[in-house]
Structure 1
Amino acid sequence: MNLIEQTLATLRYILDSRAIVTGGAINPRHHTDWSHYGPTCPNVLLLPRTTEEVSKMLRICNTHKQPVVPQGGMTGLAGGSVPRAGDIALSLEHMAGIEEIDAAAATMTVLAGTRLETIQQAAAEAGFLFPLDLEARGSCQIGGNIATNAGGNSVIRYGMTRDQVLGLEVVLADGRVLNLMNKMIKNNTGYDLKQCFIGSEGTLGVITRAVLKLQPLPGHVTTAMCALPDYANAVQLLRALQKRIGTPQAYEVMWPAFYQIGVEWSGHAAPLPSDKPLYVLFESTGSGEALEALLADARGTGDVTDAVVAASPLQARQLWKVREATREFSARFSPLSFDLSLPMGEIDAFIQDCQQQLDSRFPGHHTLYFGHIDDSSLHVTIDLNSLPEPSPVDALNDLIYTAVGGRKGSVSAEHGIGALKRNYLHHSVTPEAMDVMRQLKQTFDPNGILNPGKVIA
């Protein structure tokens, strides 16, 4: 018997048959994620229902040195959960549910396969907010969110997923279960091992349970959109909001080409003229009067050239629909998307530099810029349909990621590295740091069975 046959025979001997799926019975959604990288059908799909089953599965695979790819909601954008030929996929979809909401500690204990939207709704029903929010909220699973250290719209106020996690349960490659569950913010008992697994994309261990930190429900939220004369004014407006009203719930910046498409696809009239240099959409929990006064002052000094404040939840949704044009990229474009992070003061110069290089090397390109600059995050999307065939994907990747490295930025702000960005990680990570990452991988997964080919070579 070959490797996979030996492993499968042992799995069938130890496990209930319902936990093992093979061949054509494997749903195609386990072949690839939203990046459409691959796709590849795994040889076997494992569907554990308990941590003990995950432990048994990994122990068997480790004994046979059989590669395993952990999978969540398959909403990733970097190919991090996509199997290779010969891999076994381990899906956490049947390990879903909220185990406890502790109102005194303001925590929620959940299984890794629980959908983000389910967590948000349960928190709201208990009088709390779980602030992580992504457009994939209805499909993504919290285990995947943690494994990729997801970002989202509310990072400016609440931080990344890493900041929302107090405790974890993790199964190591050899089947050992690490109980790192914890409800306390202060816990200085040696190395904070859970941080090794947050953002590791399933390469060091499989997350099975988590203790999440909840926040108070915000008060009245006001949504506004502003037109600005330049990028410096976007930074200035953010600082004014933080000083006079408080850190906003969200702060989204859109360059003109993105705004124009967002308006067109929204199906609503443009909230602001479409010929302005820059647009900002933000949410504030301060008083409406204070916000109106701030915007009046900004218009008086020319820092804001135009503004609209939503007068109802419906109007707020219409404003957000402009920013959420990204949901239609895959249907309307052939998108090559970049999820970048740069020092805030470098973002405008980076865009100008990229635009000049793209104009010179790829005339006729259609490139959109948008992002949550408050957390240094910038998204760049190039429509490959606007370029000659065959699309120069490698050349575009080299151009963008080299420019990021030149400004000491990150090749991934919130989507992870996966398979798609692995070869560009050196633009943001020093050789010494890469060596330490490899040492960690060797320590936690000496046989290299967990998500091989992802994050690091």
Structure 2
Amino acid sequence: MTTQPTAMELLSQLAAAPGVGDLLPGATIPPAYHGDWMTQAPAGTALALARPRDTAEVSATLAACHRLRVPVVPQGGRTGLAGGATPVSGCVLLSLERMNRIEAVDAAGSTITVQAGATLQSVQEAARDAGLFFPLDLGARGSCHVGGNLSTNAGGNRVLRYGMARDLVLGLEAVTADGTVLSHLNTVLKDNTGFDMKQLFVGTEGTMGVIARAVLRLHPQPRSTQTALCALPDYASVLRLLRLVREGIGPTLSAFELMWPDFYGLVTTRVAGLEPPLAHGAGAYVLVESLGVEPDEDAARFERVLAMAMENGVVGDAVIAQSGGETAKLWKVRDASGELRSIFWPHVGFDVGIPTRSLGEFIEELTARLQQRWPQVRTVFFGHVGDSNVHIGVKVGDGEQPEAEIDDTVYRTVGDWRGSISAEHGIGLLKRAHLHHSRSPQELALLRTLKTALDPHGILNPGKVVPA
């Protein structure tokens, strides 16, 4: 009978493997590595923490773990909201934090080449210093990593114009479970050389391989920003406004953020220092923003469209930012979603995608289903409605939440409306059991086939994304 090696023996074998960098034993791993913003594992769950300095060390670490059948959980800035970076028992945590270099900026080709551990903010700043613009933007920009942004296919506030993270990557260098390095750091916009292999790693949350380096697309730096907060009577008016601004502002439209009255009322009364820019009582509040290159013409066009919307009765009231400071104040209302953990806690949060045309009816039906089951339920709704994404907070009383029952109600409703159970936050650990509401049995079977082909021993981020 073969005796399984002890944790100490496994750690010793990993540390002795050629090319593996320094390993921090499990008992000494700092608490920050025990999970992400939503989930935490007990201290001692992980066998070790590896912090490679380059792709070669990533490869050596994965090869050793593959040989020894040790699970590996990749970690970026640990700002995820779906439990994708949560340690599993006996795993090696593979943190990319030391791989944080901005390697090259190509102004002529509008690309930037970076290591996966570079923070989103550092990439934005490097692009800006070169007179260009990296449009992906999240509240966690100062701590989230580009590798994590790509592995979760992050969205953010500018998807309406620039697309998701997968739309901003041209090439990747990734490492598969057995340590094989797949390097296709493509820098050209057109590359039709067979299968687009980078998409095996973008959005798959480290279950197919570990992203080590990336070539990202840059855009011209905007020279004008127009921002307005609008009060509207109902969701039908929201759809009319969306059509008006799409037609009137055109490709400069960069954000169309909807806040339902429950969210707007909560944050403008409970968040310290946040005054309501518009009076309470409207049926919906929309933050509209355009990013352009002709300040005077952009401003005139923006104001004309909003004036037309008000004349037509689509918008009841509006405030247009006249300075960068005023723009920041308007965005502070929408970004107050980050305060929900302090002013609306405990609650169960969701990030779902519903066709824009149906979103108002979906909210009505979901609210009715929740109220039927829990008459005293409280909700908040807000999101990037221009790209069909709504965020939901559900709160049943002030104590422990019936999370499983709330999940079942929300995700069943999403499935009934043929929506996505995860619009931009990924699947990770928390949504894995509900993936069947958005993916067919045939798709799930193919997903498992791909996982087995790339990770035959199942060591990469086990228990995440891929249903059993």
Per the shorter chain, which TM-score range? Answer: over 0.9
Deviations 1:122-152 (CA, angstroms, capped at 9, x unpaired): 1111101100000010110000000000000
Q: Is residue 306 of structure 1 aligned with residue 309 of structure 2?
A: no
Provide the C-alpha distance between the structure 2 equivalents of 1:147 and 1:240, rounded to a whole number of angstroms: 35
Contact 1:225 1:280 in 2 (8 A): yes
Aligned to 1:453, the other structure's residue is in SS state coil
CA shift at 1:204, angstroms? 0.4
Which residue of structure 1 lines up, in the alignment, with residue 306 of structure 2?
295
Give the direction of change, closer, same or farther, for the CA distance of 1:324–1:266 in structure 2 (3 Å limit): farther
Counterpart CA distance in 2 for 1:362 and 1:43 is 43
What is the distance in 2 between the residues matched to 1:242 and 1:409? 23
- 1:379 counterpart = 2:391: yes
Residue 42 (structure 1) aligned with residue 46 (structure 2) = yes
1:344 matched to 2:347: no
Alignment of 1:42-121 (within 5 A): 42-121=46-125
Alpha-carbon distance in 2 for matches of 1:436, 1:93: 32
Contact 2:155–2:165 (CA under 8 A) maintained in structure 1: yes
- Whole-Å Cα distance in 1 between the matches of residues 86 and 420 of structure 2? 23
CA contact (8 A) 1:39 1:82 kept: no
Cα deviation code 1:36-82 (max 9, x no counterpart): 24455412111110111111111010001111100000000000010
- Offset at 1:383? 3.0
Query: Secondary structure of the equivalent of 2:200?
Result: helix
Conserved 8 A contact 1:167-1:182: yes
Matched, 1:209 2:213: yes
Does the residue aligned with 2:170 lie in a helix, a strand or coil?
Answer: strand
Does residue 10 (structure 1) correspond to residue 13 (structure 2)? The answer is: yes
Offset at residue 263 of structure 1 (A):
1.6
Match of 1:168 in 2: 172
What amino acid is the match of 1:353?
E
RMSD across aligned positions (CA): 1.5
Provide the rounded CA distance (Å) in 2 between the counterparts of 1:328 and 1:263. Answer: 11
> Does the CA-based 8 Å contact 1:256-1:276 persist in structure 2?
yes
Mapping 1:24-423, distance limit 5 Å: 24-39=27-42, 41-247=45-251, 248-264=253-269, 265=271, 267-285=273-291, 287-332=298-343, 333-384=345-396, 386=397, 389-423=399-433
Cα deviation 1:151-187 (Å, max 9, x = unaligned): 0000000000000000000011001100121011111
Give yes or no for contact 1:42–1:84 (8 Å, CA) kept in 2.
yes
The residue type paired with residue 418 of structure 2 is: K
> Contact 2:349–2:391 (CA<8 Å) still a contact in 1?
yes
The Cα of 1:268 is off from its aligned counterpart by 3.7
Is the 8 Å Cα contact of residues 224 and 309 (structure 1) preserved in structure 2? yes
CA contact (8 A) 1:79 1:419 kept: yes
Contact 2:133 2:218 in 1 (8 A): yes
Partner letter of residue 351 of structure 2? D
**Equivalents in 2 of 1:131, 1:307: separation in Å?**
26
CA contact (8 A) 1:32 1:74 kept: yes
| Letter matched to residue 391 of structure 1 | Q
**Distance in 2 of aligned mates of 1:159 and 1:37:** 31
Q: How far apart, in 1, do the equivalents of 2:63 and 2:21 lie? A: 19
Residue 237 of structure 2 aligns to a residue in which SS? helix
What CA deviation, in whole Å up to 9, does each residue of 1:352-379 have, x standing for no partner?
A: 0111111121122221000101111010
Distance in 1 of aligned mates of 2:104 and 2:174: 18
Counterpart residue type for residue 22 of structure 1: P
Alpha-carbon deviations, 1:387-410, whole Å to 9, x = none? 5x4421111000000000000000
CA contact under 8 A between 1:146 and 1:199: conserved in structure 2?
yes
Counterpart CA distance in 2 for 1:81 and 1:430 is 26
Question: In structure 1, which of residues 435, 446, 449 is the aligned counterpart of residue 456 of structure 2?
Answer: 446
Letter in 1 for 2:326: Q
- Matches of 2:382 and 2:210, distance apart in 1: 33
Give, in whole Å, the separation in 2 of the partners of 1:405 and 1:210.
34
Judge conservation of contact 1:6–1:64 (CA < 8 Å) in 2.
Answer: no
1:230 positional shift? 1.1
What's the CA shift string for 1:278-319, capped at 9, x where partnerless?
000121135222222221211111100000001111111111
- Name 2:295's counterpart in structure 1: none
Q: 5+ unaligned residues in a row in structure 1: which ranges?
A: none
Q: State how far apart, in whole Å, the 2-side matches of 1:18 and 1:64 are.
A: 17
Question: Residues 266, 236 of structure 1: CA spacing in aligned structure 2 closer, same or farther, 3 A cutoff?
Answer: farther
Q: More deviation in 243-252 or 369-378?
A: 243-252
Residue aligning to 1:430: 440
CA contact (8 A) 2:348 2:401 kept: no
User: C-alpha displacement at 1:4, in angstroms?
Assistant: 3.5
Query: Helix, strand or coil: the match of 1:21?
Result: strand
CA deviation map 1:68-104 (0-9, x unaligned): 1000000000000101121111100011110000111
Structure 2: distance between partners of 1:85 and 1:155: 36
Task: Give the whole-Å Cα distance in 2 for the aligned partners of 1:407 and 1:294.
Answer: 32
- Partners of 1:266 and 1:322 within 8 A in 2: no
CA distance in 2, matches of 1:31, 1:303: 49
What is the identity, as a one-letter code, of the residue corresponding to 2:308?
D
CA distance in 2, matches of 1:334, 1:114: 33
**Secondary structure at 1:109 match in 2:** strand
> Percent same amino acid at aligned positions?
47
Between stretches 50-59 and 227-236, larger displacement belongs to 227-236
Q: Distance in 1 between matches of 2:239 and 2:216?
A: 31
CA distance in 1, matches of 2:150, 2:349: 22
**Do the aligned partners of 1:3 and 1:64 also contact (CA within 8 Å) in 2?**
no
Find the residue that maps to 2:230 and give its secondary structure. strand
In the TM superposition, residue 335 of structure 1 has moved relative to its aligned partner by 2.8
Per the TM alignment, residue 224 of structure 1 is displaced from its structure 2 partner at its CA by 0.3
Q: Which amino acid aligns with 2:317?
A: D
Moved over 6 A (4+): none
Mapped partners of 2:447, 2:268: distance in 1 = 44
TM-score, structure 2 as length reference: 0.94
Q: Which amino acid aligns with 1:361?
A: R
User: How many correspondences in the alignment?
Assistant: 455
Alpha-carbon distance in 2 for matches of 1:13, 1:319: 55
Give the aligned residue type for 2:366. Answer: C
In the TM superposition, residue 107 of structure 1 has moved relative to its aligned partner by 0.3
CA distance in 1, matches of 2:6, 2:450: 26
Conservation of the 8 A alpha-carbon contact between 2:274 and 2:333? no
Cα distance in 1 for partners of 2:151, 2:431 equals: 16
Alignment gaps of 5+ in structure 2: 293-297
Say whether the 8 Å CA contact 1:3–1:66 is kept in structure 2: no
